[in-house]
Amino acid sequence: MTTQGERTPTPGDGQEGRAGRRFGGGAGAYRGGRLTARRMVGWTVVVGVVVAGGWIITRPTPGDFIPGLGPSSKDATKTPPVVGAPPPPTDPEALNVETYFPSQRLIEMGAYKGKRNGVRRGENCVEAQQDRGQELLKNSGCQAYLTVSFTGQDKPVLSSVTVLRFADQATAVKAADALRAKPGALAFILPDANEAPAPSASAAPKPGTEPRVEAVGHYVTVTSSRLPEGQTHTPGATPSTPPAATPAPSGSPAPTPEQILDEATRAVSYSAGSQFVWM
């Protein structure tokens, strides 16, 4: 029933219909809930952009499309080389390099900043020795090794750290003492994961290149640093033409090669040992 002056409601004549009438009538009036062709095209474009954006962000190599969201497919060739079989996934204490030394994470300590490069790993710890004919680690109880190369980002320095895993702390301490008694017993690896040539037996150790040996829980870390080939290493002199070296603050002397090497060795050794301090 209707009262005088009111028209009979028609289907779809609700709040939207009344709202449309409030904005005027005629051919240009807003048409309630009707979906026009123009509005349909607009919503189709919006939905398409949202879907495409989600696909770009979640794809494996987003950096190809949106800089800053991650590495691009072009960076695949820059992956640091890894030599040796991966540790068994069933080993809860396996020396997995990406767990302890992720390739995208820099070591930053004091004035040192270093990036991880090549890796060598395995369960036969004799492979980590410079001279595999020595008996140093053959019957030491060593269960696995991981050797990682680092390159200084602001200073011309290369570092190599080897992590050795033992069954218990007492065995690790004994092995650390043996390694301290034979400096240079472990191989130094380069950024390409190849081993650096062994120094000649007659050559005296260069200042600052002495390895740092630490027993941490049932692990042993052995770290050493050296200048890249072609860099001068005269005691008290600065390296020649250091690539991308950070300038020393005004009024302060430039660091000597020995200081650069010691700084890098301490930073890498501390970073490696901190991974195992509670194990």
Q: What are the domain boundaries of the chain?
A: 36-77, 79-199+206-274
Whether 66 shows a pLDDT value over 80: the answer reads no
Q: How far is CA 265 from the centre of its chain?
A: 18
Q: Quick one: pLDDT at residue 34?
A: 60
Q: What is the pLDDT of residue 206?
A: 76
Two tokens at 43?
């919503």
- As separate numbers, helices (DSSP H) first and strands (DSSP E) second, the chain gives 5, 7
Whether the per-residue pLDDT at 204 is higher than 60: the answer is yes
Taking residue 71's Cβ as centre, other Cβ atoms within 10 Å add up to: 15
Candidates 118, 207, 221, 215; CA nearest to 171 is 215
User: Residue 62 above 90 pLDDT?
Assistant: no
Give the confidence band of 278 by pLDDT, cuts at 50, 70, 90: confident
Please give the pLDDT value at position 50: 52
Residue 156 vs residues 43, 81, 243: alpha-carbon distances, Å? 56, 21, 6
Kindly tell me the burial class for residue 235, based on how many C-beta atoms sit within 10 Å of its own C-beta (0-12, 13-18, 19 or more): exposed
Residue 233, pLDDT > 70, answer: no
Q: Mean pLDDT across the stretch 59-85?
A: 55
pLDDT > 70: percent of the chain: 61
